Amino acid sequence: MKTLDERLTLLAEVVVRVGLNLQPRQELVLTAPIEAVPLVRKVAEAAYRRGASLVLPLLSDDALTLMRYQMADLEALKKAPAWLYEGLARAYREGAARLGIRGGDPRLLEGVPPEKIAVAQEAQAEAYRPALEAISQFVTNWTLVPFAHPAWARRLFPELPEEEAVNRLWEALFQVTRVDQEDPVAAWEAHNRRLGELVRYLNERRFHALHFRGPGTDLTVGLAEGHVWQGGAAQAQNGVVCTPNLPTEEVFTAPHRARVEGYVTSSKPLAYGGQVVEEIFARFEGGVAVEVRAKNGEAFLKALEADEGARRLGEVALVPASSPVAKTGLLFLETLLDENAASHLAFGQSYAENVPGSPEEQVQRGGNQSKIHIDWMIGSPDTDVDGLYEDGTRVALMRRGEWVI
């Protein structure tokens, strides 16, 4: 049994080699909660070992975030650091790799008035847009990785003392990041190959739409013209093959922004904006979610008013209900993990790698533009998914939540 320190070292290796595939002389910009400093240092060590030029951490403090929501008024909450996010976008475009270390209290903002959250997050999304664009255009190699933040662990295991809760969360995180396997890097290579086969299969079929059927769901998601499926390792515009998101269990592509019809119900709660949104229901006409309901969904629903593209889909992703994340049996209340336990949709911005061409051409082909990108889970062990050809014939892709191809 390896010590926590040894497994953090292995996780850092997986992040730098598999997640980022960091290149010699490359700069690495990473965002992390201050509690993650031990992992940050491990990642920096692995990065410098590979010849990184500079590891620049941008550390955040949940206590400050919460304090601001409590003390600042609505007008003050409209401020967001555009100068920082434009700087980040520039860094990515100039070659810096990006790592996001994720973790924190999913219910941090639970006592905050929803209009405060909505105002602040809209300003945040607007200011962050240049950075989100750079990432959605896949200009550089990047990944996200979870960290067992104490406040997060306490929420997941309220019955355990904090230290035990953190250890339990780490166990789950090492499982889903394959760090508990004999050779984690080799395990990721094998997994990336399997995802690559699914991607190839789907790209060859060139389906016109996907059809989801399950409890509370009967949804047809048209796919963008010339859409490209992605999953696992992929090549960024800077030529580097990286694995965005650790873990990643999905294959995903771009819906057609004007061709989504039917209704769909979320299969898992969604942690969004420091709140836990439940029972999301959406009905689509002509690609637009003309009706959306949710429990504790004030900030979520408000985000869907961000711009014209916010109520349209930017991503559809297929994940088997038996994925390693699902197998932990945990609801993590962290999208990075929960979206890898179930097929999902995202409102908002589509990824450039899913639709060929310039941003204008992407929109013509049905790609979506928005300053938001919010994933939510719709897949379950009761969900069936078919691929539809333009002539209406169909192919079974998933039955009872599992791949049948």
Interface contacts to Zn ion, rule CB under 5 A:
250, 252, 315, 317, 346, 375
CB-nearer residue toward a second copy: 150 or 357: 150
| Least separation in angstroms between CB 229 and a second copy | 33
CB-nearer residue toward a second copy: 49 or 194: 49
Helix (H) or strand (E) holding 8: helix 4-13
**Residue-wise over 138-173: b if at least 16 C-beta within 10 A, else e?**
bbbbbbbbbbbbbbbbbbbbeeeeeeebbebbbebb
CB-nearer residue toward a second copy: 79 or 327: 79
Q: Counting contacts by CB under 8 A, is residue 293 touching a second copy?
A: no
Q: Which of 68, 205, 206, 213 binds a second copy (CB under 8 A)?
A: 68
Among residues 132, 119, 209, 115, the alpha carbon closest in space to that of 397 is found at 209
Q: Are 100 and 30 in contact (CB under 8 A)?
A: yes
Answer with the entry of Zn ion, a second copy, none that 375 interacts with (C-beta below 5 to 8 A by kind): Zn ion
Q: Counting contacts by CB under 8 A, is residue 363 touching a second copy?
A: no
Angle, helix 62-71 to helix 114-136, in steps of 10 degrees: 130
CB-nearer residue toward a second copy: 89 or 310: 89
CB-nearer residue toward a second copy: 64 or 185: 64
Residues contacting residue 405 through CB under 8 Å, at least 6 positions apart: 198, 201, 395, 396, 397
Rounded distance between C-alpha atoms, residue 351 and residue 316, angstroms? 11
Q: Which of 91, 176, 221, 271 binds a second copy (CB under 8 A)?
A: 91
Answer with the entry of a second copy, Zn ion, none that 148 interacts with (C-beta below 5 to 8 A by kind): none
Answer with the entry of Zn ion, a second copy, none that 293 interacts with (C-beta below 5 to 8 A by kind): none
| Least separation in angstroms between CB 358 and a second copy | 25
Rounded distance between C-alpha atoms, residue 287 and residue 209, angstroms? 12
Q: Please write down the long-range contacts of 287-296, taking CB distance under 8 Å and 24 or more positions apart.
A: 287/222, 287/255, 287/256, 287/257, 287/258, 287/259, 287/260, 287/312, 287/313, 288/260, 288/312, 289/347, 294/266
Rounded distance between C-alpha atoms, residue 66 and residue 354, angstroms? 36
Instruction: Find out whether the peptide bond into 106 is cis, omega within 30 degrees of 0.
Output: no
| Least separation in angstroms between CB 223 and Zn ion | 15
Among residues 272, 321, 318, the alpha carbon closest in space to that of 292 is found at 272
| Least separation in angstroms between CB 121 and a second copy | 14
Angle, helix 82-93 to helix 114-136, in steps of 10 degrees: 20
Side-chain half-sphere of 7: how many Cα atoms within 13 Å? 20
Residues 112-141 that bind a second copy (CB under 8 A): none
Q: Counting contacts by CB under 8 A, is residue 150 touching a second copy?
A: no
Q: Which of 8, 88, 223, 337 binds a second copy (CB under 8 A)?
A: 88
| Least separation in angstroms between CB 235 and Zn ion | 18
Interface with a second copy (CB under 8 A), residue total 45
Q: Counting contacts by CB under 8 A, is residue 111 touching a second copy?
A: no
| Least separation in angstroms between CB 195 and a second copy | 33
The neighbour count for residue 75, using CB atoms within 10 Å, is 8
Residues 35-64 that bind a second copy (CB under 8 A): 37, 40-41, 44-45, 48-49, 51-61, 63-64
Q: Counting contacts by CB under 8 A, is residue 94 touching a second copy?
A: yes
Name residue 55's beta-bridge partners. Answer: 28
| Least separation in angstroms between CB 44 and a second copy | 5
Answer with the entry of Zn ion, a second copy, none that 76 interacts with (C-beta below 5 to 8 A by kind): a second copy
Which residues contact a second copy by CB under 8 A? 25, 27, 29, 34, 37, 40-41, 44-45, 48-49, 51-61, 63-64, 67-68, 71-73, 75-81, 83-84, 86-88, 90-91, 94, 96
